[in-house]
Amino acid sequence: MEALAKYRYSLVAGSFAAGGSFFGKLPSHLSAQKLLNTSGIISDSSYFEIAILQVLPLALMIICNVSNLRCFLKALQMTDQTLTCVVVTAGSNYVLSFILGALVYQEPLSSLSGIGIALILTGLWFLCDTGAVESKKIEPEKEK
């Protein structure tokens, strides 16, 4: 659990990055679902539909991307190695994007994608666990 606490900003940055991707794809997914009024007649309700189904996801995407950058910079400040921070952020982004794509957008699941996600999670576990072990070794040396 210490390893997750150390890389919490990296995980949150990856979550915001996945959220930005999710909201970026949402307007095209909603228009493909025929939720917009496509009759050609513009009324007051169609402006409301456009605002909710087109502009709101765009605004949420921008908010997620700005939050991603802020958390990523905070994660870079908190970790000793920048490579670890980058890998944890990217790995959590890929895993969460895969889960959101499968659940919300009904993207196809294959055994190859399942193996890829398992390898990413295994790599993240080893990376975070190794970082916690190394930090425990360094702390007693600092006390001497």
Q: Kindly give the interhelix angle for 82-103 and 56-78, rounded to the nearest 10 degrees.
A: 150
140 lies in a domain? no
Question: Number of folded domains in the chain?
Answer: 1
Report the distance separating Cα 128 and Cα 133, nearest Å: 9
Residue 136: band (very low, low, confident or very high) from pLDDT cuts 50, 70, 90: low
Instruction: Note the pTM of the prediction, 2 decimals.
Output: 0.78
| pLDDT of amino acid 63 | 98
138 lies in a domain? no
123 lies in a domain? yes
Q: Tens digit of pLDDT for each residue in 5-51? A: 888 999 999 999 999 999 999 988 877 776 555 555 556 667 777 77
6 lies in a domain? yes
Where is average pLDDT lowest: 54-63, 67-76, 108-117, 125-134? 125-134
| Domain assignment of residue 87, given as a range | 2-133
Q: Tens digit of pLDDT for each residue in 50-104? A: 777 788 999 999 999 999 999 999 999 988 888 989 999 999 999 999 999 999 9
118 lies in a domain? yes
113 lies in a domain? yes
125 lies in a domain? yes
23 lies in a domain? yes
Closest listed residue to residue 98, CA positions, set 87, 113, 111, 88: 113
- The CB density around residue 9, as the number of other CB atoms within 10 Å, is 21
CB of 84 closer than 8 Å to CB of 109: no
Q: Kindly give the interhelix angle for 82-103 and 8-32, rounded to the nearest 10 degrees.
A: 30
